[in-house]
A and B are shown apart, each in its own frame.
Chain A
Amino acid sequence: MIISPERSDFSTIFNILGKLLLALAGFMLLPLAVAWGHGEISPFWDFLLSFFLAASAGLALVILFPLREEISWIHAFFTVSMGWLVFSLFGAVPLYLSGHFLCFLDAWFESMSGFATTGLVLIQDLDHLSYAHNMWRHLTMFIGGQGIILASLSILTKARPVAVGFYMGEGRQEKILPNVIGTARFIWKVSFVYLLLGVTVFSAILMGKGLDPLKAVYHGLWLFFAAFDTGGFAPQAQNIAYYHSPVLEAATVVFMMLGAFNFNLHFWVWLKNKREIYRNFEVRIFLLTLFSLAALLYFSLKGMSNLGLFRTGFYQLISAHTGCGFTNVSSAELPLFPSLGLIAVIFAMMIGGGVCSTTGAIKIMRVGIILKSLLSEIKRWMMPFKSVYRDRIHHLQDVILSDKRVREAYVYFSLFLMSYIGGAVVGVMNGYPLVLSLFESVSAAANVGLSVGITAPSMPAVMKVVYILQMWTGRLEFLSIFVAIGFLVSYFKR
């Protein structure tokens, strides 16, 4: 039997959405303060207007739709899927008001790209963007990377009984602590420790490059948001290439990898057993895929010096694998990569990082499980007919690879593959070459942000909408959106 929502359920959903909008308005106070502090008059008005709009909409929803019942799983799935749409739409308002976008659709694209930690950009003249707007662009990645709902969960006490519904709905499959609120708080604590470390390191490097101290701190903060939350935005149009610093590139690699690893692994390494890092299944699969793809890239870029290989090849590869999207080559240069190199980067984007991390894509755990299940199948065929064979993986503890887990991995793998191919087909239909269309589609659906130049304000509106949908569904891993649609269908079918 399928659970069907009642009319009163929608009242609860709108009430939670209203509260989330109030939280969004609260987040806007930070860029508002930055605009005020720097005397950026026009951006100050942009954020003031956006703040009042988000707060008004939030209050209207809370007043019109009072919370009459306990929050349940139905509400959780609806809220998560709608919450991301609402956040991206209202988050686009200050961006649009900045005057750096051709139309509201472009601003919405940028906002969704930020919240979904993708990093594809449609902004124009980024080099002349205010501190306040840049703060907002990067803050969207931090909010999105940590989980919008998760961010609000830490303060929403009434949602505690179904907190796990919100948590799972945002594409996270593992709890770190028995209590989800505790898990959310642990993730925030870890993030703030890394934030302090990251901002210090990045700022020091940037000051060495000649940026004035305040600007260096701002850029350090934004680059940290982009690296650790695997977002890929940068405050300058040339992305990481602007800084011309191999040292900075190496430092961003470290934080991209920290962001791409499972938060559970951070927890174990920090508080339980440091040796877990050597035994962990995800880490091993990550190293396996990374070195295999690096070998492909090495053969395609043969003849370059070691530093050239790192800066041109490995940097794009690690950025793709961690789902960050930082790049030190221009979008005109990326398509000039040899085909084998492009394929390596596309595969890296498709795989992504760890489950329960800030990355999107299929995830290394699922790829590992699929590889393991293939090997198991071969072994089974080689064994006596009646023998029973159970495979294990080590992820924090020894886990038997159950059929349910394997099936889940295949389901997600298929869903992502359909999304990657679907986006590529739309690209081809709009006249772009196949490989480049596939590259851009995978980049959007896997929330990476590397671009071969297709993503531009001049691209057809239909492709902007498709990429927005890909970023949204990819970030939430389809599940909560499909469940919400299923509930809606069952409601109208009654």
Chain B
Amino acid sequence: MNMRGQRGKWVILIAAAGVLWGVPRCEAGRSLRNVSAAPEEFHRTQVTIQGEAIGEPLKTVEGFWVNLSSEGAHLSAWVKDREAVDKIVHWGRYGMRGDRVEVTGVFYRKCPVHHTSGIHVQSLRVRERGGRVFHPVSARKKTGTRAAAIICLTFFLIYLIKERNRRRQAKDMS
């Protein structure tokens, strides 16, 4: 009984160690930044990452490339199905925050089909809808522009007057 209990403890301990070892690796595989920063480490492994869909879907012969961005890092995901791509409504650009999507698939540092790095997507889910982003103009910027405009016009008038005087003087001299 004692022996069995000891063995049980060891099993639990090893299982816990395995889980603890696997958690950061699994977490790393969930971060777009980690995967893009260490492409060699994740080459040919299954990853699940989240990122904002950027730009537009880019057509290839048999599918679409979806560019994803998160925390300043970027990765591309190759999606075969049109339907999966159609789930993305908002694509990130100026004035628009793209949908936040989660993709699961195999990451290739150098994919044998496309010869670039990217994830061959097995599943794609929209986690959060994007939408319009407004860029308000600050009052300081408006005031600064008006002040600069007044200064510029004043200088322009001075320049015109000086030029007229110079021409008049040149005419008198001749």
Contact = CB atoms under 8 A, between A and B. Distances in A.
A285 B25 CA distance: 50
Interface string A449-482: 0000000000000000000000000000000000
Nearest to A44: B137
A305 B115 contact: yes
A308 B117 CA distance: 11
Contacts of B56: 210-212, 215
- 5 nearest CB pairs, A to B: A52-B148, A59-B155, A42-B135, A308-B115, A49-B145
A311 B37 CA distance: 20
Interface string B94-131: 11110000000000011010111110000000000000
B149 interface: yes
Given A40-B94, A243-B58, A330-B117, A237 B69 contact: yes
Interface of B: 36-40, 54-60, 64-65, 67, 69, 72, 74, 76, 92-97, 109-110, 112, 114-118, 133, 135-137, 141-142, 144-145, 148-149, 151-152, 155-156, 158-159, 162
A412 B154 CA distance: 46
Contact of B76 (A42, A53, A124, A238): A238
A63 B117 contact: no
Contacts of A308: 110, 115
Contacts, number: 123
A329 B152 contact: no
A63 B69 contact: no
Given A49-B144, A128-B133, 5 more contacts: A45-B137, A53-B148, A56-B155, A127-B69, A241-B116
A55 B93 CA distance: 31
A interface, size bucket:
35 or more
B66 to A, nearest CB: 10
29 contacts: A40-B95, A49-B145, A53-B148, A55-B152, A56-B148, A59-B155, A62-B159, A63-B155, A63-B158, A63-B162, A127-B54, A127-B55, A127-B69, A128-B96, A129-B94, A208-B59, A210-B58, A212-B56, A237-B74, A238-B76, A242-B67, A246-B115, A304-B110, A305-B112, A312-B115, A330-B39, A332-B39, A333-B117, A336-B39
Interface in A204-254: 208-212, 215, 236-238, 241-246
